[in-house]
Each structure stands twice: as C-alpha cells, then as structure tokens.
Amino acid sequence: MLALSLLALGLSAVSTMAFPAVKLPRAAPGPWCDGLGPGAFDEAFNVTLAAWNTTGTNTNTTGAPLVLGSGGAITGASFRHLSTWASYPFNDYPSVSLVNGTLMLNGGVSATPSQATIVQEGSQPGFVLRNDAVPNEGAQIYCAVADTDPAGHGTGHPFLAVNGDTDSFQLCKSSTQNVVYWKPIPDHGEDFDSCYPVKVQVIFQD
C-alpha cells in the first residue's frame, strides 16, 4: 500500500512538472471592434471618459472630464448624455465600464439602472435610465483602442469608438451644456457652429 501511495505521489509530481498551469488568453473582442486593429478591446472596468481636443489646446494629457449630463425625461424614464464636467458639475455615476461592447454606468446603490442607447449620425452617445433597465443589455456598439502610435504622438490613453469609429466625435454647445455628438449635423439640438472635433479618451484609475 505504501509503495502504491508513493507511486501515485510521484506520478502527480511528474504531471505537475510536465503540464504546468497556464493562463488562457482572453477571447478576441466582439464584432463591435471589427476594423479597429490589434489594439482594440471591449472590456474595461471602472474607467472615466474625457474629451481630447484634436485641433486646439488641451491643458492636460487626458482632456476635459466627461460626466453624465441631463438629456431630458419622459414618464418613467430619463436620459443622459456625455457632457463636460465644466458645463454640468454633477456626477451621479462617477465611472463607467466597457463590457462586451456596451457601456455600463457605475452609480451608488440608489442610482437608477441604465442602458446604453443606439447612436446614429447626428446624435449623442447616451443612456436611458429607468427602473427596469438592464445595464448589460445596452446597445453593443462600443469598443476601445489602445494608443499604439509608433511615432509616439499619442496621449497614452485609449480612445473610445462607437459604431467602429474613433474619429467622428465632436463637442458641441447644446443649451447650457457642452455635449459629445457623433457626426453632428445642423439642427439636431446643438449649436453646430460651436462644434469642434475631439477624441473620447478612456482613463484608467490609478
């Protein structure tokens, strides 16, 4: 019996040495990242977003902090969009998570559930808030792209993409807020002449 026990122990040790545990690579990102290159990823938890002016001056390497600005309400639901903190200095949802192609808002225990809404040309990336919202069932249209500029001209922060596009965000004046639009077109609720191009940066917390 002792001999059998020692034999089993020896085989176990050999097996462990011959076949060490390995960490399997994460699955490739989903189709919402198609065409965005090898730096694309669709999973990032508890990050913040910022608008980086691509044609003007930025006061830091992250850009203007973005929060969830008020976008109106109807019976049983309200709407939020990406506004600069400077124009809407409130922050009920201090971070967001990118999960499986959708953006999920991270609020406190009393925060209303939310879902990301679809983004069409001339509209604002946004969210609907209602009691029956299911965050992980929001529109699967988002991806992030790591800064892989070989010339070192990037900011060091990943860019957010919507509908496979990182390059068509603009920051526009809308009422009292400065709001992020995707491919803005005149007469869609914004002061079109105030718009300027930005990258929406994904900022990881230290």
Please report the domains of the chain, with CATH numbers, ordered by start residue: 39-204 (2.80.10)
Q: What pTM, to 2 d.p., does this model score? A: 0.84
Q: Which amino acid is at 171?
A: L
Report the distance separating Cα 83 and Cα 113, nearest Å: 19
Neighbouring C-beta atoms of residue 136, cutoff 10 Å: 12
Structure tokens at 182: 């995707």
- pLDDT given for residue 9 in this prediction: 42
Residue ranges in the chain modelled with pLDDT below 50:
1-25
Per-residue pLDDT tens digits for 128-175:
999 999 999 999 999 999 987 665 567 889 999 999 999 999 999 999
- pLDDT given for residue 149 in this prediction: 67
